[in-house]
Structure 1
């Protein structure tokens, strides 16, 4: 499987972060940063060149984690984005495509994310 370059992946991750924040807010859920990239934390005074420092985020319901999203750090060989529902075995692996994140071969859209969050809120993901 061919993978897009790192710049595309991190730009698409940034777009996904915006979707997650907006979709969480629309459902009365909280959206919180979980972790920054390790190379950002230890960079000392060097400039940081990725479009975001955020490596993982959580969507929470009533203070309890509902979904965790994370992106691979720069040093990983095969990079991607993961979405995981807490309390179960459901997870999704996304990869950068030329026009956005891909779930396998199909585009991962904001509508698909909304479906996943709706299912998670109902306990039916």
Structure 2
């Protein structure tokens, strides 16, 4: 597990959100915010320091979620980003590295995300 600061995780989450949105647009999938951070929702008039308010998103094929991505809230002890394929048991836990999200010890890249989305779409088409 990485020992990068929380700020690195949230900055890398914002980068992943951009990749997810671009993958959705390029493939004709829906990109939908699922939830905001609870401390953003209940902050009242206090400033919000994170680079985004979005805590989870879904890529949709038609009206059904295909892939859901979420990041841990600030109060969690062991923070990570999770990717889950809907309708299956596949999921990934990514942790903050010094410069990028890590899948185990290797960097999680945009090409890796594209491969996961390709596989999910092939599974949907096979059904």
TM-score by length of 2: 0.96
SS of 2:59's equivalent in the other structure is strand
Partners of 2:71 and 2:81 within 8 A in 1? yes
Matches of 1:9 and 1:39 in 2, distance apart? 17
Q: How does 1:39-54 map to 2 (within 5 A)?
A: 39-54=39-54
Unmatched 5+ stretches in structure 2: none
Q: In the alignment, which residue of structure 2 is the partner of 1:24?
A: 24
Which sections of structure 1, spanning at least 5 residues, go unmatched? none
Aligned residues of 2:32 and 2:58 also touching (Cα < 8 A) = yes
If the length of structure 1 is used for normalisation, what is the TM-score? 0.97
Deviating beyond 4 angstroms after TM superposition, the runs of 4 or more aligned structure 1 residues are none
Cα distance in structure 2, aligned partners of 1:96 and 1:108: 10
CA RMSD of aligned residues (A): 0.9
**Distance across 1 between alignment mates of 2:2 and 2:32:** 32
Q: Deviations over 1:20-69 (max 9, x none)?
A: 00011111101000000000000001110000000000000011000000
2-side partners of 1:2 and 1:117: how far apart?
25
